[in-house]
Each structure stands twice: as structure tokens, then as C-alpha cells.
């Protein structure tokens, strides 16, 4: 397995939703908290907090908290690029950067996440490549579940640990 590239991965899922709705899910506080996070706070250049339904902009800073985890598990980062319709790129701590692209393939809308610049060392391989890929796979399935069927698969109980859905 020496030729395997541990520095990046791609996860993709088809979702029966409009590109506008999918972008909203990634680019607003309300959208991110709908399917992914317990708290998604975005701050503008002037340090003011964006409104719940306001689209992020390049240069915004974020603070993210997850369901099933205490406030000690927090991620801070930057919105590096966004185009307001189908592309968003953000820093993801020591785990590298993530780019989200919403694209049409045939009649299907696809959400594609590329995580790259993952450190190629033991911690990077275990926690950021394997761990993040597992996490993104679950959360993209949750995005599809909520948008297509209304069922939220996330574990919201901090006392319940070591489960796939937190």
C-alpha cells in the first residue's frame, strides 16, 4: 500500500435537492446546524457575527461545535474561497483544507468533498485521513437523509461515546 496517497481523499454523494439548497446547507449557520453541527458561528472581517441565514464570504472566520461532544471539541478556521452558488473551501485545522463542490451529473446533484493537505505521518493517516473520511461519509449521509426524508441520524447525547454518528 506504499503508493496510496494519504494526503487527500474525496467523498461524494448524490442528493435529491437543488444546488441552491445544498449550497445553503454548507454556507450558512442555519444550514450547517441543520445537518452537521451543534454550533456554526461565522464572523466577518469586522468581527461581527453573520446572521443565521447569511451566506459566508471569503475571509470569514468560523467556530464549530459538534453534537455528541462537549465544548472542548471545537474547531476554528477560515473560509478560504466561496462563490455563492456551488463551491466553498475552508481550512480544517491540522487536518488540512476542505473543498466542497456541488455539481450536476446527468439528472443528479452531487456533493463532492475534497480534503487535502493532510499530513502524511501516523497521526495524519489515522486521525485526519481515516478519521475525517469516516466522519465526512457519515455527515454526507445525514445531509442526504435530512433533505430527502427528514430523519436526523446524529447522536446528540454527550454521554453516549464511541458511536459512528457523533
Confidence label for 164 from pLDDT (cuts 50, 70 and 90): confident
Q: Is the dihedral of CA 151, 152, 156, 162 positive or negative?
A: positive
- The answer to the question of residue 159 being in a domain is no
Confidence label for 26 from pLDDT (cuts 50, 70 and 90): very high
- The answer to the question of residue 2 being in a domain is no
- The answer to the question of residue 120 being in a domain is yes
d(CA 102, CA 15): 10
- The answer to the question of residue 19 being in a domain is yes
User: CATH code at 22?
Assistant: 3.30.530.20
Give the residue numbers spanning the domain of 71: 9-149
Q: What is the tally of structural domains in the chain?
A: 1
Mean pLDDT of the chain: 96
Confidence label for 166 from pLDDT (cuts 50, 70 and 90): confident
Distances 29 to 15, 124, 129 between C-alpha atoms, Å: 20, 28, 26
Query: Residue 1 above 80 pLDDT?
Result: no
- The answer to the question of residue 97 being in a domain is yes
- The answer to the question of residue 166 being in a domain is no
Amino acid at each position: 500500500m506504499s503508493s496510496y496517497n494519504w494526503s487527500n481523499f474525496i467523498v461524494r454523494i448524490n442528493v435529491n435537492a437543488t444546488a441552491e439548497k445544498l449550497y445553503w446547507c454548507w454556507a450558512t449557520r442555519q444550514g450547517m446546524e441543520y445537518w452537521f453541527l451543534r454550533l456554526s458561528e461565522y464572523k466577518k472581517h469586522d468581527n461581527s457575527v453573520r446572521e443565521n441565514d447569511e451566506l459566508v464570504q471569503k475571509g470569514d472566520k468560523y467556530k464549530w461545535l459538534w453534537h455528541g461532544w462537549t465544548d472542548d471539541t471545537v474547531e476554528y478556521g477560515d473560509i478560504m474561497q466561496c462563490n455563492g452558488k456551488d463551491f466553498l473551501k475552508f481550512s480544517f485545522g491540522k487536518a488540512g483544507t476542505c473543498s466542497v463542490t456541488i455539481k450536476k451529473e446527468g439528472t443528479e446533484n452531487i456533493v463532492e468533498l475534497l480534503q487535502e493537505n493532510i499530513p502524511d505521518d501516523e497521526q495524519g493517516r489515522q486521525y485526519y485521513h481515516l478519521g475525517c473520511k469516516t466522519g465526512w461519509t457519515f455527515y454526507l449521509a445525514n445531509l442526504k437523509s435530512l433533505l430527502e426524508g427528514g430523519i436526523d441520524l446524529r447522536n446528540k447525547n454527550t454521554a453516549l461515546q464511541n458511536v459512528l454518528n457523533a
